[in-house]
Chain A
Amino acid sequence: MPRARVTLCTCLAACLWAAPGRASPAVVPPSPRQQVDAVYPLAEARSELVTVELAVTVEVDGRVGAVDVTRSGGPAFDDAAVAAVKQWRFEPARRGDVAVAAKIRVPFQFAPPVEPAEPPGPTDSPPVPSTSPTPPAPDASPAAPAPGPTQPAPSTTPEQPAPSASPAAPEPVLDVAARSRRPPPRAASDFVVERDVLAAPPRQSAADMLSSAPGVYVARAEGEAVAHEITLRGFNAAHGQDIEITAGSLPLNQVSHLHGQGYADLNWIIPETVRSIRVTEGVYDPRQGDFAVAGSIDFDLAVPRRGIQLRSTGGSFATFRQLVLWAPKGQDDETFAAATVRRTRGFGMNRGGLSGMAMGQFAFAAGGWRGKVHVAAYAARAGLAGVLRRDDVAAGVVGFHDSYGDPSANSQSASAARGHLALDLERRGERGAVTRMAVWTALVDFHSRENFTGYTQRGVVMPEWVGRGDLIEQQNRDFGGGMRLSHRTGAWRPARWFQAALEVGASARIHNVQQAQNLLQAPQNETWDRRVDATVLASDVGMYGDLDLRFGKRVRLRGGGRADVLHYDIDDRLGNFIAPYQIESHLVGHRRTATGVAAGPRASLEVAPVPWVSLFAAYGQGYRSPQARQLDEGERAPFAKVHSTEGGVRMSPWGGRLQLSAAGFATFLSQDLAFDPEEGRLEKVGPTRRAGAAVQLIARPLPWLVAAGSVTYVHAVLRAPPPATAENPSPPYVPGQLLPYVPPVVVRADVGVDKDLVELKGRPLGLRVGLGYSYLSPRPLPYGQFADPVHLLDASAAVRWSVVEVGVEAFNLLARRWAATEYNFVSDWGTRPVPSLLPARHFAAGPPLSVMGTLALHF
Chain B
Amino acid sequence: MSFRPATALLLCAAACGATGEPAFQAPLRARGAASEVTVGAWTVTLERADVGLGPLYLCATAAASSELCATAAAEYAAVAAVDLTDPEPQPLGELDVLPGQVRSAMLDYGVTWLKTQAKPGAQDGAPGGRAARFAGLAVSGDMSFEFTADLDVVPVLRGSRTVEGLRIGPFDLAPGGALDVTIDAAAWWAGVDFDALAALGPGPHDLAALAADDPASPAADALAAVRFAMIAVPPRFAWTAEE
Contacts and interface: CB of A to CB of B under 8 A. Distances in A.
Interface of A: 455-456, 458, 464, 466-467, 678, 713, 715, 717, 724, 726-730, 732-734, 736-738, 743-745, 777-778, 780, 782-786, 789, 825-826, 828, 830, 832-839
Given A458-B115, A730-B61, A839-B71, 9 more contacts: A467-B114, A467-B158, A744-B13, A828-B115, A832-B77, A834-B78, A835-B77, A836-B77, A837-B75
Contact of A467 (B14, B54, B61, B159): B159
A777 B66 CA distance: 36
Contacts, number: 130
Nearest to B103: A729
Interface string B11-29: 1011101111111000000
B97 to A, nearest CB: 9
Contacts of A783: 20, 22-23, 98
B85 interface: no
B17 A730 contact: no
8 contacts: A467-B117, A729-B69, A734-B20, A737-B18, A737-B19, A783-B23, A837-B77, A839-B71
Contact of A833 (B17, B21, B115, B124): B124
B17 A717 contact: yes
B118 to A, nearest CB: 8
Contacts of A467: 114-117, 158-159
Nearest to A457: B115
B241 interface: no
A734 B20 CA distance: 6
A687 to B, nearest CB: 15
Interface in B77-111: 77-79, 96, 98, 100
B22 A833 contact: no
**For the complex of A and B, 10 pairs with smallest distance between CB atoms:** A729-B61, A777-B14, A467-B115, A784-B20, A837-B72, A729-B60, A784-B22, A466-B159, A736-B18, A466-B115
Contact of B70 (A456, A715, A734, A833): A456
Chain B: interface size category: 35 or more
Given A458-B159, A724-B61, A784-B23, A834 B54 contact: yes
Contacts of A789: 14
A235 to B, nearest CB: 16
Interface of B is mostly: loop
A464 B66 CA distance: 13
Contact of B100 (A727, A730, A782, A834): A730
A738 B100 CA distance: 18
A826 B14 contact: no
B70 A678 contact: yes
Contact of B57 (A726, A736, A837): A837
A90 to B, nearest CB: 41
A713 B116 contact: no
Contacts of B19: 737-738, 780, 784, 786
Interface in B11-55: 11, 13-15, 17-23, 54-55
Contacts of B158: 464, 466-467
A738 B116 contact: no
A838 B115 contact: no
A838 B64 CA distance: 14
B23 A730 contact: no
B23 A838 contact: yes
B154 to A, nearest CB: 15
A678 B124 CA distance: 29
B57 A458 contact: no
Given A467-B159, A834-B77, A729 B115 contact: no
A411 B23 CA distance: 33
Given A715-B17, A717-B18, A777-B13, A834 B70 contact: no
A833 B72 CA distance: 17
B220 interface: no
B73 interface: yes
Contacts of A734: 20
B1 to A, nearest CB: 13
A101 to B, nearest CB: 47
Interface string B158-198: 11000000000000000000000000000000000000000
B112 interface: yes
B51 to A, nearest CB: 17
A712 to B, nearest CB: 11
A171 B11 CA distance: 59
Contact of A730 (B10, B59, B96, B123): B59
Nearest to B20: A784
A732 B20 CA distance: 8
A730 B78 contact: no
B20 A730 contact: no
Nearest to A711: B10
Contacts of A678: 70
A825 B14 CA distance: 22
Contacts of B233: none
A745 B23 contact: no
B232 interface: no
A838 B72 contact: yes
B175 to A, nearest CB: 12
Contacts of A736: 18
Given A729-B59, A734-B20, A834 B112 contact: yes
